[in-house]
Structure 1
């Protein structure tokens, strides 16, 4: 019998994160091992594999294909076809084929251990080469212009490979096979250290040593990372940190610190095993951990709180710089506060020329900006605070076909976008707060990037109810210019609940606790302390916190004392308030209090809100933790630091006829302010469990910015577990407004007929 008559031929179409992660060489080596012929190639759908050989060999090949893919790969779907044998016995890797892109873009990854070892090996030809990478690490999203992910479609296109790099690139047995950013001293991008005017400081060979010397001397250096520049200074130099804060206009917001080693982080912070795993992971996020009281430089880095954001070097350039410096550095995004991270040395010099003393640049273009990811651990649960480098773009597989091409544009703060098409959900990296022209332009660039990646034009656009959101305005304008598109509006807190449901693929009714700062409610008031009965198609506002006025509107968000004063006005007479002796009242003059009382009575620029985030502000003011804020969420962090050991029972809310009344907590706070920080956490945990027990059998969701609070999240989850209540919290997507786009999209998937 001929070989063809005893062979079978199979075709596999594989979707997921399967490009730029070493999938084709993995398939090649697997085919050679099992002795089968055929080919593998990239196309817009993902990876196509055709294999031919004896049935037993094909069975072994198929098992290994899905059981042990490369470490950075993720298989979402495998479609298998039986074909007529062609008699092939050799296996080949073919060039990419263009088609409508459906494969998922891979995030940028930290330098792997193998490359790091070569970086410091004097015998290696890439010894101390600041752009060393392989298939298992390095830039991806930040350098991609279009799919399929091949070198001509990246910012490495201008750099022609030398013969040695080309040999590695074309050798399927080499770990740099088709590593698109592959380069070396002979053929790669160049490093340069310049002053703020652009004049060179030393030679390329000297640039890292000179940059390290500047940092050690207390200077501020902008250093290019994967998705943008960092502003760096010596974290142990108080004067340098103060100068960076002043120049960047960031007076009190915590600063992230990059450490040379895990051992040095252990000296600065108390780490759990879960936190150490995150710090060492190949995503290398900033991990918010508890700083040690004895940490000498802790207060200038994170004033008034007990947390510090730490991370390890994640590029070879970082490794080389930290190897020379051997001390921690502040590594904060290179931008003016509230603006996007800068990606180009010219931009850094133009916008931050008065901030930096030098710029350490690499002439490989960053096509797509991407900030550092930020995570924390509550108990044993990972919480995503900012989803960016290493985690995003993030794709979630759908179990059903999307009812069209859906674009969700998210919220105004911590902006992200989400796309739904075919059986895919794709989430963008963190964009930021849309409070400036530059920030909104970044939002629009990100939209265009993802439309280009996936040849995507939306049939359905989803936005928030808030008429003042820039994202809502964009969605309305797009809908007006494209009358054939559908426009869907989703209430903000309902979107929080849906984001949690989407992460777990749930479609059953849930009891969702959605606590945050403020969001536009269905009744036109500002919500923020909501308990919803929800499923993917609809929701009911089952409980909410008792509303109170925000004196001065937006000004109240920046001044906790205004929120606290409003609560006092709700419960006491003006004369009683004026007679009180505590921090809130003491922060105003009597004349100011009388004026604000008139504003409160008349409701002038004093919108009502049910916000739990604002309750944190009020307690922070009443206990003297904070009367004005330097950044969003500061009052919550200060109260968490002040909470200490939290004992249940002493502080509580009252729940009656769907209203959660904060007045008992207010009176308890006035009586025992020293215990109020802990009491607020305990009272919130108590109201969550009380309401959950009123709805037996319903799964509980915890979502919204308030649940970034590690103490509250850990307490609530532990209490629910003790009661045997099934609950869900987001771990892989942002629990704050960065998850709103995902929730909006999830509603549209069901509302528009995907699972109606």
Structure 2
């Protein structure tokens, strides 16, 4: 006899993760009756049964949820019994306010991999095998509640066998929305680069043979296209690099197995956990000394970005021992291709062949890139596998759209106590990227049911994101770039402040008209005070000085030695670039020579002075190579200067750069001086932080900005600050570079608008 009845509402990531089948089977286990359904806000259910059975059910609901589920809240309310005869899964209920969370895309689970490779299974070698524990989610969903008709699978009608699985509570594919098989589901085709189909047969074996022969293959996956070549084939990798117009920036790799990855890279326990996680990001790993992969994968770089297969197609393409380059399907600076016609048009001069399928990708998502720092994940790019899972905030905010920055753009939407950072968009300087950005904002607003009340943007008036914000009919909150960096870390760790924020990057718009980027801020989530900064360095030629670090380095040599610098035994002075006289003449007159305090510019200048890198082919290249040169050397603390004026501390580069020049002429190796540069900057940074800490009485230190992708500098600063018993906070959920900027913008704008 029924003793009691309850209505339960569950919020979190509970759609697309097998939650309703889990509830159904749990109801059978505890002998309760009622129903379960998806709605626009999550999952709701009604139960009738004994109090003991219902209590046991609710306890199991909390502690035995499916592995991909993330429960935010469970609300239980008493109801009058209705006399249900059994338990059922009801059709989903739509609603005006849609707050249900969408699951990120999930790597193929072990059960599906086993079936994929089992000859007597009806899905043997079927490249779209999935179940409630794995498969595409975010990239195929158009709307919520999460049902098949709201995804790009809706045009594939399940055959009787698939429908029977879908309807069977005891089956792993019970209510698995992308469920399909070779009879009824999507399929792959192999094409040449003119779009003509190649012969039938096992197209995956044929594609793998083409790769083995040195061809470049464009492969359509979950979130877009990849360009693939054999990572052991130097000629093929070099050909891909030339066609993609990507001179030096490292390529990402995919290993056919964890064992193959370990054969070429050192893999710690924490790195292995990331590699094999359901998110399957690219993980930055140190090469082994006996690594036998093509040198042009990551020229001069001892690290490789490695990932493991995360779709059934990957398991069919790569053998256990294979290593392939698996880089984004685009030309340099363009967004990843994800629509078939666009991919064929844009990639046919790069790829020799195309492996395509007929399941549409609704929302593109590039691969996420992560490394391990202090045994925890540290994001370089947050995208596939993590998006659109929210960052949970300390308190509720009004709905905000934060439009992000110009480079490595992401945007952010807030809803209550959640912040939804978008997938990696890219650099908005590129028109197709900007168009994709605008479309994605509209999609996220619709999918998350967020109508912003305010828009947050960067102070820089020239950013396309800022111009986009200005065109909206919303109140605007302009947020200083480095304050946003610091607020993003604070949001992750639920800090209210004030904190001492150290924001080191290349360039950010300063309210004083200079280019900031080496900042010590005393900040909370509303306001900040510039308590210190790196001294400004002139940038002859403006933006050209960022692409050509020899320009500020040459200016410094002239400042230090006058016209006699040409006679100094310094690599840059011994091989002067063409046009150097005009550059110095313009700088002397202040023509197109802005002042910048960016830490990134200090790294660029040091790299040029030491003869490591004079011009760059991708953002941050000079700093990357300076860090690589420093590895294996114990740095010394060279002279530096810290001064205080009007309550603000200034760290001057002149003694440090002067010491580097003297050491160069004395014959000290550039690698040793690269290590000295890092150690000196770390020591000087910590001294400024200590001064501010004592004056302000603040012991919480927050580190953010693209320069902190430099792990050598980061770890030295962490170690030195820890010795002074200061508490350090880093990014753990979003990138430290401008990919995390929008989170900080959103929180600051939300707090100011409360």
Q: Is TM (by shorter chain) over 0.5? A: yes
- State the match for 1:561 in structure 2: 550
C-alpha deviation, 1:652, in angstroms? 5.1
Length-normalised TM-score, structure 2:
0.95
The separation in 2 between residues aligned to 1:583 and 1:108, in whole angstroms, is 50
C-alpha deviation, 1:624, in angstroms? 1.3
Q: State the secondary structure of the residue aligned to 1:672.
A: helix
Of 282, 287, 296, the residue aligned with 1:300 is 296
Query: Where in structure 2 are the equivalents of 1:676-691 lying within 5 Å?
Result: 676-691=673-688
Task: Identify the range of structure 1 (343-352 vs 15-24) with the bigger mean alpha-carbon deviation.
Answer: 343-352
Q: Is the 8 A contact 1:52 1:89 kept in 2?
A: no
Of 371, 375, 383, the residue aligned with 1:380 is 375
Query: Where in structure 2 are the equivalents of 1:724-739 lying within 5 Å?
Result: 724-739=725-740
Query: Where in structure 2 are the equivalents of 1:639-718 lying within 5 Å?
Result: 639-647=626-634, 649-651=636-638, 653-657=640-644, 658-673=649-664, 674=669, 675-694=672-691, 695=693, 697-718=698-719
Q: State the secondary structure of the residue aligned to 1:394.
A: coil
Query: Where in structure 2 are the equivalents of 1:86-485 lying within 5 Å?
Result: 86-88=82-84, 90-99=86-95, 100-203=97-200, 205-323=201-319, 326-403=321-398, 405-478=399-472, 482=473, 485=474
The separation in 2 between residues aligned to 1:636 and 1:298, in whole angstroms, is 23
Task: Identify the range of structure 1 (189-198 vs 46-55) with the bigger mean alpha-carbon deviation.
Answer: 46-55
- State the match for 1:522 in structure 2: 511
Task: Identify the range of structure 1 (170-179 vs 141-150) with the bigger mean alpha-carbon deviation.
Answer: 170-179
The separation in 2 between residues aligned to 1:494 and 1:298, in whole angstroms, is 42
The separation in 2 between residues aligned to 1:597 and 1:645, in whole angstroms, is 36
C-alpha deviation, 1:149, in angstroms? 1.1
| Aligned CA distance change for structure 1 residues 60 and 530 (closer, same or farther; 3 Å) | same
Q: State the secondary structure of the residue aligned to 1:572.
A: helix
Q: Is the 8 A contact 2:560 2:658 kept in 1?
A: no
The separation in 2 between residues aligned to 1:487 and 1:149, in whole angstroms, is 33
Asked if 1:38 corresponds to 2:29, the answer is no
The separation in 1 between residues aligned to 2:724 and 2:635, in whole angstroms, is 15
Q: State the secondary structure of the residue aligned to 2:441.
A: helix
Asked if 1:622 corresponds to 2:609, the answer is yes
Q: State the secondary structure of the residue aligned to 2:194.
A: coil
Q: Is the 8 A contact 2:394 2:491 kept in 1?
A: no
- State the match for 1:576 in structure 2: 564
Q: Is the 8 A contact 2:636 2:675 kept in 1?
A: no
C-alpha deviation, 1:648, in angstroms? 5.3
Q: Is the 8 A contact 1:378 1:711 kept in 2?
A: no
C-alpha deviation, 1:398, in angstroms? 3.5
The separation in 1 between residues aligned to 2:675 and 2:658, in whole angstroms, is 15
The separation in 1 between residues aligned to 2:528 and 2:77, in whole angstroms, is 43
What is the RMSD of the two structures over their aligned residues, measured on CA atoms? 1.6
Asked if 1:544 corresponds to 2:533, the answer is yes
The alignment of Structure 1 onto Structure 2 pairs a total of residues equal to 739
| Aligned CA distance change for structure 1 residues 172 and 567 (closer, same or farther; 3 Å) | farther
Q: Is the 8 A contact 1:703 1:730 kept in 2?
A: yes
Q: Is the 8 A contact 2:708 2:714 kept in 1?
A: yes
- State the match for 1:502 in structure 2: 491
Deviations 1:373-396, CA, capped at 9 Å, x for gaps: 001122423210000110111312
The separation in 2 between residues aligned to 1:223 and 1:741, in whole angstroms, is 31
Deviations 1:56-97, CA, capped at 9 Å, x for gaps: 222222222222321111112222222223233622211110
Unpaired runs of 5+ residues, structure 2, are none
The separation in 2 between residues aligned to 1:698 and 1:44, in whole angstroms, is 44
Of 593, 606, 612, the residue aligned with 2:593 is 606
Q: Is the 8 A contact 1:465 1:490 kept in 2?
A: yes
Q: Is the 8 A contact 2:233 2:294 kept in 1?
A: no
C-alpha deviation, 1:274, in angstroms? 1.4
Q: State the secondary structure of the residue aligned to 2:354.
A: strand
Task: Identify the range of structure 1 (681-690 vs 241-250) with the bigger mean alpha-carbon deviation.
Answer: 681-690
The separation in 2 between residues aligned to 1:625 and 1:292, in whole angstroms, is 24
Deviations 1:552-585, CA, capped at 9 Å, x for gaps: 111111111112123334x414223222221222
C-alpha deviation, 1:594, in angstroms? 3.1
Q: Is the 8 A contact 1:512 1:702 kept in 2?
A: yes
- State the match for 2:745 in structure 1: 744
Q: State the secondary structure of the residue aligned to 2:259.
A: helix
Length-normalised TM-score, structure 1:
0.95
Asked if 1:585 corresponds to 2:576, the answer is no
Q: Is the 8 A contact 1:19 1:105 kept in 2?
A: yes
| Aligned CA distance change for structure 1 residues 672 and 117 (closer, same or farther; 3 Å) | farther
